[in-house]
Structure 1
Amino acid sequence: MNLAIAHTNPAALIERCEVTGVRLANGEPEYESGAVLPAGPWQRLTSELATRLKPTAHTAGKTLVELVRLPDGPAPASLAAFTAPLGDPDAVHLGQAASPPKALTTTPNYRDGRRIGLHVDNWDKLSYATKHTGRRRLCFNFGPGTRYLLLADLDIRTICRTLYRNPERRCPHTDDLRTYVADRQPLQVFRIRIAPGEGYIAPTELLPHDGSTEDQPEPSTAAFWLGHWLRTALPSLI
């Protein structure tokens, strides 16, 4: 398992995390054909899985997932200035995204509005050899509803190593994830609850991911930044 979630309280992780397999979208007009989606039903995280998700001494900070809360103190003058104290003066505010309620996944293809399912980001235009060094995404849920972070258990470099004899020649892409699932290779997806005022830092260039508002009756708005965040730059939820 490549996915590593920083936590000191396994019970707190288990309380907000579930797991299931994946499937490919087929004939669903709101989705791209071949999009990778949670298969359901969601299962409670076990103690064994929570232990396997714990980082080791060898887990690089750039590949770590952290669940965080808004820092104490006055609100920043702007969202663009929010990350100034967090250790990366070159961090970029990507903007905000409003998600409707009860959406299995949330990210649309900007060309036609169809949702793309689990995917890897490519803001940093990285090759296979450097994909694990990309900036991590910081996200906060500003509500009013709860949302979820979806994360695959394998990173895109591992997926490419499984698929290709010479993966170092590739620039890993969401299409590789779709090919992997179409080949019926094993993959799990985790669903982590993110309430208003909570957020995450995650290597979304490396890990297949998306947002979700499945089972939630209210919409939510999330704000996003990209940066080289220091580990423990924000208070941990778990």
Structure 2
Amino acid sequence: MRVTRGLPRGAAGRRRPRPRLRRAAVALVLAAAAAATALVLAGNSGGSTGRHALNPDEANRLAITRFRNYQAGGRAVTLTVPSTAGGLVVTGSIDYRVGIGYGVVRGSGRDTSSDGLIEWTSTTVLVHPLADAPSAAPVSPPASGWYGRPLTTSGSSLDSSLAIALGLGSDRPDNAELLPQNGAVRVGQDTVRGHRVDVMVGPRSSAAKGTSGTVRYWIGPDGTMYRVRAGVASESQPVVIDFDTQKYVAVRPLPGVSATP
């Protein structure tokens, strides 16, 4: 009797695909490991949009953001001012080293009566009424036709907004160590005119005069300020201050105007 060693003829053929199955299983394991690694890396990249206390980098950027405006000399700004009468928009420039803002103010609804040119310091507002206000203020302010008055930080959403915007510059950085202790937090991420920014809420103790509640900052990776939103004591809606909305034009003080940086 002849004895055949090994497997039946059909068995060997049935076992041949097993190396392929093993290779497929290994590929799945490697893919899963790669996916897990990608998730870990994404989690460490700072892409989280949740609210958390400022880390050292975020605190440093918030501490220097007003100083960045001062270093730049001036910034182009657009102020969207809340008002029950229709709202105002101020488009212009602020010289943070001299402490003067200049631009054109345009309103909607009943607020069109405020249309015209405007120049302001921390203590004074000068207005030049215009029936048909331009979209941008002329580089050289008119020599006449201006009316001056003291700037007030209570009871006027326009004046409060002007004071807040002017206060967004400082000749020195804030104390980064004190910011988290005083309640500053990061609340998320956003994109402003193509710039990726972190959104931070400033400390309670440094809220600008004339504001109500907290001040929210949109800050870039190098500490550049791109947007600020602050509550105004006299209105239910906040003022929104956007930077670099147009080209910066150097501010020319009117005769007799003395700024208070």
TM range (shorter): under 0.3
TM-score, structure 2 length as denominator? 0.25
Instruction: From the CA coordinates, give the structure whose radius of gyration is larger.
Output: 2
- Greater helix share, 1 or 2? 2
TM-score, structure 1 length as denominator? 0.27
